[in-house]
Amino acid sequence: MSIQENYELAKKAYEKWGINVDEVIETLKNVPISIHCWQGDDIGGFEVNPNELSGGISVTGNYPGKASTPEELRADLEKALSLIPGKHRVNLHAIYAETNGEVVERDQLEPKHFENWVKWAKENGLGLDYNPTLFSHPKANDGLTLSHPNQEIREFWINHCIGSRKIGEYFGKELGTPALTNIWIPDGYKDIPSDRLTPRKRLKDSLDKIFAVETDEKYNLDAVESKVFGIGSESYVVGSHEFYLNYAMKNDKLCLLDTGHYHPTETVSNKISSMLLFSEKLALHVSRPVRWDSDHVVILDDELKEIALEIVRNEAVDRVIIGLDFFDASINRVAAWTIGTRNMIKALLSAMLVPNEYLKQLQEEGNFTERLALMEEFKTYPFGAVWDYYCERMGVPVRESWLEEVKAYEQEVLLKR
């Protein structure tokens, strides 16, 4: 049977439950995923005097073809985007500035250093998001930045974050879609601290100074990202979930939840509904923490499906900003982007093809037998037929056929670098 014929059969199965599959597809194609640029070059960036990775961040593997110039990285992103259905965004870190060979310290970065990214985004119909880079730098070597006891070091990073928000605002003005500017820091201690409060006081003060400089929310959205554990901060992280949750709520900022930044028994999916009760918007970095924050390529596992369900069944598609954050240098990097992003979109589609309102009703009625039965039965409904049709309609390869394009790109481009 053809893709169209399979789709028509699937539609009939879902329509029995009041699900308009054509409408689902129209909704899905307007949900952007923010794709992280750093998968393409192993978080190397383009600083004139690059620093080794630090801040508890590690990339393993040496698969050939890593991008080493802005042009190569953008070409690789274009290839991945051509294999992913929908129109999406690209997430940048400060270290991806282009300074034309000039040494520009991070606290001196300006919008002009990202003009090429903006031009490229316009040509490809993409939005851009942004992150100040508070790691892999001499002023972060001891694992402290915005909470550092040295005021001069704190001021350096404060100015970097202020400038970053201006760069995010520039992205929003130029591209007509607000940039999410997200602050994450590696600050913490390897061993048990004797004082947990004072570093958090300094972090709060630093953030207050950063956000005292106004940007237009029409163009820039501010987010803060927590973490529970890191390499080098095993015993204490200054910017914990509780710290940033309270800071975001009190100061009307977005709280960003990274799926790898919690205890192994915690699930971000379980946090989303509570967050949405008290916040107009919520941001995510979706990763796969095989062991803590190990940032594996996103697969279509139970937690990813549950995250998508929480977004969809709570009618929060327009309220949750979805970004990805993983880096694997042991496999083809273009394939990593493609696999992870397609899986995020698959999870959203799967969540939209569930009779969520009826299942809510069953729960309210206490009909847990039917609720469980239907939740299980829908796991084997013909979701794949709808996905194939969606890919075909959006002009991207169906099923695993995209892999052949990546193999050809590897032979023709990546292996010649």
- List, in order, residues 6 or more apart from 331 with CB less than 8 Å away: 61, 63, 297
pLDDT of residue 294: 84
pLDDT of residue 196: 97
pLDDT confidence of 275, banded at 50, 70, 90? very high
The overall average pLDDT reported for the chain is 96
pTM: 0.96
- The active-site residue out of 293, 310, 328, 388 is 293
pLDDT confidence of 54, banded at 50, 70, 90? confident
Q: Which CATH number fits domain 32-352: 3.50.50.60, 3.30.43.10, 3.20.20.150, 3.40.50.10860?
A: 3.20.20.150
- The active-site residue out of 169, 295, 388, 410 is 295
| pLDDT of 354 above 90 | yes
Can you tell me whether residue 267 is helix, strand or coil?
coil
Most distant CA pair in the chain: distance in Å?
A: 68
Check if 137 is active-site: no
| pLDDT of 61 above 90 | no
pLDDT of residue 368: 98
Four-residue CA torsion sign, 388, 82, 302, 257: negative
pLDDT confidence of 241, banded at 50, 70, 90? very high
- The active-site residue out of 227, 241, 271, 346 is 227
The whole-angstrom separation of Cα 164 and Cα 207 is 13
Check if 227 is active-site: yes
Check if 184 is active-site: yes
pLDDT confidence of 58, banded at 50, 70, 90? confident
pLDDT of residue 321: 98
| pLDDT of 57 above 90 | no
- The active-site residue out of 41, 129, 303, 325 is 325
- The active-site residue out of 11, 93, 253, 261 is 261
Give the least confident one: 114-128, 210-224, 254-268: 254-268
pLDDT of residue 236: 94
Bigger pLDDT: 294 vs 154? 154
The whole-angstrom separation of Cα 46 and Cα 48 is 6
The whole-angstrom separation of Cα 234 and Cα 228 is 8
| pLDDT of 332 above 90 | yes
| pLDDT of 52 above 80 | no
Q: At what angle do helices 356-365 and 368-377 cross, to 10 degrees?
A: 160
Check if 325 is active-site: yes
- The active-site residue out of 38, 117, 120, 184 is 184
Q: What percent of the chain stands above pLDDT 70?
A: 100
Check if 261 is active-site: yes
Check if 72 is active-site: no
In this structure, are residues 164 and 154 in contact, taking their beta carbons and an 8 Å threshold?
no
Encode pLDDT of 155-203 as tens digits. Answer: 999 999 999 999 999 999 999 999 999 999 999 999 999 999 999 999 9
Pairing of strands 236-237, 188-189: antiparallel
| pLDDT of 56 above 80 | no
The CB density around residue 271, as the number of other CB atoms within 10 Å, is: 18
- The active-site residue out of 107, 187, 258, 388 is 258
- Token pair listed for 8: 């028509």
Bigger pLDDT: 291 vs 139? 139
Per-position b or e across 207-224, b if 16+ CB within 10 A of its CB: bebbbeeebeeebbbbbb
State the Rg of the chain over Cα.
Answer: 22
Mean pLDDT of 345-361: 98
pLDDT confidence of 215, banded at 50, 70, 90? very high
- The active-site residue out of 41, 187, 222, 225 is 225
- The active-site residue out of 36, 93, 285, 305 is 285
Check if 293 is active-site: yes
Domain boundaries, the chain: 1-30+356-417, 32-352
Beta-bridged to residue 183, according to DSSP, are: 224
Encode pLDDT of 114-150 as tens digits. Answer: 999 999 999 999 999 999 999 999 999 999 999 999 9
- Token pair listed for 310: 């929480």
